[in-house]
Amino acid sequence: MPSRDVAIIGVGQSSFVRGYDGSIKELAFEAFREAMKDAGITQKDVDASIFCSAPEYDKQRSPAGVLAEYMGLVPQPTFYLETVCSSSSMGVKVGYGLIKSGLHDLVVVLGFQKMSEISSAESQERMGRGADIQWESPFGTMMPAYYALYAQAYMAANGLTPDDLMKVRIKSGTYGQINERAVYRKGVSEADFDATNPDARMAGPVASPLRVGDCCANADGSSCVILASAERAKSLSQKPVWLMGMGAASAAVNMTGRPDFAKGLQGPHLAAAEAYKMAGITPADVDVAEVHDCFTIAEIMAYEALGFAPVGDGKALIRAKETYKEGRIPVNVDGGLLSKGHPVGATGGSQMRTIVLQLRGEAGPMQVKDPEIGLVHNVGGVGLYNNVTILGR
Contacts 24+ apart (CB under 8 A), 121-127: 123/57, 123/218, 126/54, 126/56, 126/57
Pick the catalytic residue from 85, 215, 216, 294: 85
**Would you call 342 a catalytic residue per the annotation?**
yes
Q: How far apart are the first and last CA of the chain?
A: 23
Within 10 angstroms of residue 84's Cβ, the number of other Cβ atoms is: 22
- Helices within 237-360 (DSSP H only): 267-279, 296-305, 314-319, 336-340, 347-360
Q: Which 3 state secondary structure label does DSSP give 260?
A: coil
**Which residues, listed in sequence order, are joined to residue 80 by a DSSP beta bridge?**
51
Distance CA 291, CA 352 (A): 10
From the list 269, 292, 342, 377, the catalytic residue is: 342
SS (H, E, C) 128-173: HCCCCCCCCHHHCCCHHHHHHHHHHHHHHHHCCCHHHHHHHHHHHH
Cα–Cα distance, 389 to 247 (Å, whole number): 6
Per the annotation, the verdict on 269 as an active-site residue is no
Please list the active-site residues: 85, 342
